[in-house]
Amino acid sequence: MAVAGGSGKVHEHADGDAHDHSGHEHAHSHGDPKIYAGYFEDSQVKDRPLGDYAGDWQSVYPYLKDGILDPVWKHKAEKGTSSVEEIRAEYEVGYKTDVDRITIDGDVVTFFKGDQGSKGTYAYDSKEILTYKKGNRGVRFIYKKTKGDVSAPQFIQFSDHGIAPNKADHYHLYWGNDRAALLKEVTNWPTYYPSSLKADEIVSEMKAH
pLDDT digits over 106-148, tens only? 999 999 999 999 999 999 999 999 998 888 999 999 999 999 9
pLDDT digits over 53-109, tens only? 999 999 999 999 999 999 999 999 999 999 999 999 999 999 999 999 999 999 999
Report the b/e string of 90-101 with b at 16+ CB within 10 A. Answer: bbeebbebebbb
> Integer distance in angstroms from the first to the last C-alpha of the chain?
27
Structural domains in the chain (count): 1
Give the structural domain span for 197: 2-207
Residue 86 C-beta-side C-alpha neighbours within 13 Å? 12
Question: CATH number of the domain that 159 lies in?
Answer: 2.40.128.20
